[in-house]
Amino acid sequence: MNRFHRALPWIALVLGVVYLAAQYPMRTATTGFDFGAFGRIPVSAEGRTKPLDTVARTNLMLLSSKQSLRTDSGRLGAIEWLADVMAGDDASRTHKAFRVDHPDVVSLLGRDAEGGKMFSYNELLPYFQELGEQVMRASQTQPNERTPYAKAVIQLERRVMRFMELAQGSHPFAIAPLGDGQQWTPITQHTPPHTPGVGDVGGSTSAAALSRIFNAYLADDHQTFNHEVYAYLDLVAGELPGATRRSALEVVFNDARPFIHGMVLYIAAFMIACVSFLLDAGSRRELARALGRTAIVLIALAFVVHTFGLGTRIYLQGRPPVTNLYSSAIFIGWGTVAAGAFIERMFPIKVAAIASSAIGFTTLIVAHNLGGSGDTMEMMQAVLDSNFWLTTHVITITLGYSATFLAGFLATMFILLGLFTKRLDAETKTAIGRMVYGVICFALLLSFVGTVLGGIWADQSWGRFWGWDPKENGALLIVIMNALIIHAKMSGMVREQGMMILAISGNIVTAFSWFGTNMLGVGLHSYGFMDSAAMWLMLFIASQVFLMCLGAIPTNKWRS
């Protein structure tokens, strides 16, 4: 092995670290407003303390599906946009922050399809009365019976209401409890009746400090603005040190965007691992092995970034890693990559590396799309407010999801390699067969134990162990599916090919239990009701059915 081959993994590691460092924004305030410090100011919203930076990002995402805006003078960051809105700057009403996708709603607002989808508050203002009438009509129908147009006008109305809450100071609760017996309160409780905007607040130490900050901002006095922000952060840190530390860390977390950059590293590792696997059968085995080690190094780096993001969320929430659909996607990907690394060490043929990096990337993509609906660390539902059961039942059942998905993706590789390449030799076939069978055994154990623990939790919360709730049925289907695969294999009813087809069907059952039951909107587990992902779920199921059909092709037709 030459020097280049030995150095290749180290080169990839250095490049990966350089990439991560280059993506972290360096905030300086030597010549202007220190929006980085302003974004660290802690406030209360959605049942938790968070920095203004998070409020800015989540609300701009709600309004525009983006975390920055394009203006005539360049890109406007979320925190700059929020400063305009909260201070009552007239510019906030001219920023095109409202995204409208439905063509009929765009037409309602007096614009044709070529005019663009982004609107400012001032552009929407003349159509408020007509929009209100449309919202009233749409609200008279049940949510599951509303047309896409009705959903679009209601969504726009909610976006306008959120903008007005931010502009008037009713959201977030920005006045900090700096004295005994005080609580977080909105700015509106401290605004003099004669004051039309948020820029002038008073009535408490915190309110007076915010008033000076906003007034300096409106006066375009960045030196006074920065001085008042620093003084206020010191004041809050003295009274609320824990909230200040968490807010500062959350800003670092927001800037680092670990899950976005984890996706990039996972997809790079996936591509390199695929090249390594394909070259390993040819004459360039030294290069293939070097690329294989490179892929492992990148997966390890991505896993570290993934773990940093997951661990930071745990610390900020004070909760176990899985509390909602978004965090479940993050944790499923994390668990799959961890299991894939262990399997790759036992069977170093790059198959587990390819499968785990693909799942890591896919689950982070899913989480990214789930994160566009607001704060992903919102307050828990009251019935779920139990760290013990979140740690036992939820983590166990989610790890069962991870294992079942990993088995299904390994089975997918078995079928694709056998059908389209000559790489599925006897050794590889046996190795993948052992991987899939072992992972399914663990999936059965985890899903069964997690389901039983869920029943015990349900008995404590709702007074019954089992109620045939859609989510409960989905969990039971995963247990039955994994048990069926093991039984079929042990009894000789299927061999490797049949086991792979059944393992892929486990992906369908798991996806339904994970997402499909939430889309039904019924049952005691429908906390994360959503319907926007229905099309993607159907496409995923269709793809798995297609793969099962490919797997059913007689092996004498396979290239291997």
pLDDT digits (tens, 9 = 90+) for 9-44: 999 999 999 999 998 887 665 568 999 999 999 999
How far apart CA 366 and CA 406 sit, in angstroms, is 16
Backbone angles phi, psi at 100, to 5 degrees: -125, 115
pLDDT above 70 for 377: yes
The CA-atom distances, in angstroms, between 427 and each of 67, 347, 407, 431, 523 are 49, 11, 18, 6, 47
Contacts 24+ apart (CB under 8 A), 435-438: 435/343, 435/347, 435/351, 435/352, 435/407, 435/410, 436/407, 436/410, 436/411, 436/499, 436/500, 436/503, 437/486, 437/489, 437/499, 438/343
**Other beta carbons less than 10 A from residue 94's beta carbon:** 15
The Cα 103–Cα 372 span in angstroms is 21
In this model, does residue 252 exceed pLDDT 90?
Answer: yes
Q: Give dist(CA 302, CA 386) in Å, integer.
A: 31
Taking the C-alpha atoms of 311, 317, 318 and 321 in order, what is their torsion angle to the nearest 10 degrees?
-50
Cis peptide upstream of residue 172 (ω within 30 degrees of 0) = yes
| pLDDT exceeds cutoff 70 at 226 | yes
Asked if 471 and 517 count as a contact pair (C-beta separation under 8 A), the reply is yes
Residue 531 has pLDDT above 60, yes or no: no
* Percent residues over pLDDT 70 in the chain: 91
Separate counts of helices (H) and strands (E) for the chain:
22, 6
Q: Answer yes or no: are the C-beta atoms of 202 and 211 closer than 8 Å.
A: yes
Tens digits of residue pLDDT in 94-104: 999 999 999 99
Kindly state the DSSP code that residue 525 receives in the 8-state scheme. Answer: T
Give the pLDDT band (50/70/90) at residue 127: very high
Res 193: pLDDT:
43
* 490-528 per-residue burial string, b: 16 or more CB within 10 A, e: under 16: eeeebebbebbbbbbbbbbbbbbbbbbbbbbeebebbeb
Cα separation, 450 vs 400, in Å, equals 8
Q: Give the chain's mean pLDDT.
A: 88
User: Is the CB of residue 240 less than 8 Å from the CB of residue 176?
Assistant: yes
**Helix, strand and coil percent figures for the chain, each rounded to 5:** 70, 5, 25
CA-based torsion, 396, 399, 401, 407: positive or negative: negative
The two structure tokens encoding residue 416: 């694709």
User: Secondary structure of 48-100 in the HEC alphabet?
Assistant: EEEEHHHHHHHHHHHHHCCCEEEECCEEEEHHHHHHHHHHCCHHHHCCEEEEC
N residues, the chain? 560
Check whether 195 has a pLDDT greater than 50: no
- Contact present, 377 and 431 (Cβ < 8 Å): no
Distance CA 543, CA 545 (A): 5
| pLDDT (tens digit per residue) in 330-354 | 999 999 999 999 999 999 889 999 9
Per-residue burial over 14-31, b = 16 or more CB atoms within 10 Å of its CB, e = otherwise: eebeeebeeeeeeeebee
> What is the torsional sign of CA 93, 96, 102, 104?
positive
CA dist., res. 127 & res. 108, Å (int): 8
Q: Supply the pLDDT for residue 467.
A: 80
Calculate mean pLDDT across residues 528-554.
83
Say what the pTM is. 0.89
Q: Which residues contact 301 (CB under 8 A, 6 or more apart)?
A: 13, 16, 17, 265
CA 415/CA 436 separation, integer angstroms: 12
Is 214 a residue whose pLDDT tops 70?
yes
Lowest mean pLDDT among 302-306, 420-424, 489-493: 420-424
Mean pLDDT of 375-401: 76
pLDDT digits (tens, 9 = 90+) for 273-319: 999 888 876 667 788 889 999 999 999 999 999 999 999 999 998 88
Residue 282 has φ and ψ, to the nearest 5°, of: -100, -155
| Both structure tokens of 252 | 């670092």
- What pLDDT, on the 0 to 100 scale, is given for residue 325? 82
Q: Which of 121, 74, 62 is nearest to 95 (CA)?
A: 121
pLDDT higher than threshold 80 for residue 203: no
Please choose, from the candidates 540, 151, 152, 542, the residue with its C-alpha nearest in 3D space to the C-alpha of residue 365. 540
- Would you state the pLDDT for residue 272? 94
The CA distances from residue 286 to 51, 208, 276, 297, 379, in Å, are: 50, 68, 10, 17, 52
Residues 360-386, mean pLDDT to the nearest whole number: 76
Query: Hey, what are 113's tokens?
Result: 């399809």
Close Cβ partners of 510 (under 8 Å, ≥ 6 residues apart):
401, 404, 405, 408, 478
What's the rounded Cα separation, in Å, for the pair 59 and 82?
9
Which range among 244-248, 431-435, 516-520 shows the weakest confidence by mean pLDDT? 516-520
